[in-house]
Structures are given as C-alpha cells and as structure tokens.
Structure 1
Amino acid sequence: MIPHLVTYRQRRHDGRWLRVYVPVLPVVLLLSPLLLLAVLGGVVACLIFGVSPVGALRGAGRLLWALPGARFEIEQGRMAVLVSVR
C-alpha cells in the first residue's frame, strides 16, 4: 500500500507543537512532471554507473511500499521533530 498521509510535528523552543498534515496523492500529482524528470535522471545515472535501472526502480518501489507505518523521531535538547507516514 502506498502512503496516504505524512504528518510532520515539530516541538519549538517554547514547548509548543507545530503540526503539518501533507496528503501524498495531491503532492505527487502536482510534482509529477518533476518526478518524471527525476526518474529519467536516475535511469541515466544508473546507466553511467553500471547499475541495473530495473533493479533500482524495483528497490525504490519496495522502499515506497514499506513506508506506511514508519515513524522518524529526532530529539535534541528542547527541540523535537516527528515524521509519521500513514
């Protein structure tokens, strides 16, 4: 299953939380022309460095497929960042 929603939470220095909800599908649709260029650039880079483009695309697809349910937390001092993928 591809991710549907990315939640970004950041605790500021004063202790308040900033929350941003990013729906994945509209962002992908808006950035699809750039995504196509990035895929083409990745294929060219694979050919230059001798990596199988099909294997690289398969690996990127598996990584995206495994993202739902992932949580990334970073905390340093009074500042904290939490990224959750659903």
Structure 2
Amino acid sequence: MIPQLVTVSRRRPDGRRQRLYVPVLPVLLLLSPLLLLAAAGGVVACRIFKVSATGALRGAGRLLWALPGTRFEIEEGRTALLISVR
C-alpha cells in the first residue's frame, strides 16, 4: 500500500509544536509532470550507468511500498523534527 499521509511535526526552540499534514495523492497529482521528467531522467541515468531500468523501477516500487509506518526523528539542541509516513 502506498503512503497516504505524511505528518511533519517540528518543536521550536521555545517548546511549542508545529504540525503539518501533507496528503500524498493530491501532491502526487500536482507534481505528476515533474515526475514524468524525473522518470525520463532515471531511464537516461540507467542507460548511462548500464543498470536495468526495470530493476531500478522495481526497487523504487518496493521502497515506496515499505514507507507506511516509517518515522524519521531528528533532534538538534532544543529543536526537534519528526516526520511520520502513514
């Protein structure tokens, strides 16, 4: 299952939290022209480095499929950043 919601939570140095909810599907639809260009660039890169394009696409699909449930936590001093993929 592809991710549906990405939550970005940031704790400011003053202790307050700021949350941002990003729905994946609308963002994906808005950025689809850029994704087509990125896919074309990926195919060109696969040709240059002599890598199987289908294998690279399969690997990217597996990575996308494994994202739901992933949490990235970064803490630097009094500022913290949490990214949660659902």
Structure 1 and Structure 2 fold alike (TM over 0.5): yes
Unaligned runs of 5+ in 1: none
Question: Quick one: distance in 2 between partners of 1:10 and 1:56?
Answer: 33
Structure-2 residue corresponding to 1:82: 82
Equivalent positions of 1:45-60 (< 5 A) are 45-60=45-60
Question: Quick one: distance in 1 between partners of 2:36 and 2:65?
Answer: 19
1:67 to partner: Cα distance: 0.2
1:43 to partner: Cα distance: 0.6
Q: TM-score, normalised by structure 1?
A: 0.98
Q: RMSD in angstroms over aligned alpha carbons? A: 0.5
Q: TM-score, normalised by structure 2?
A: 0.98
Name the count of aligned residue pairs: 86
Unaligned runs of 5+ in 2: none
Question: Quick one: distance in 1 between partners of 2:47 and 2:18?
Answer: 42
Question: Quick one: distance in 1 between partners of 2:66 and 2:82?
Answer: 18
Structure 1 runs (4+) greater than 3 angstroms displaced: none
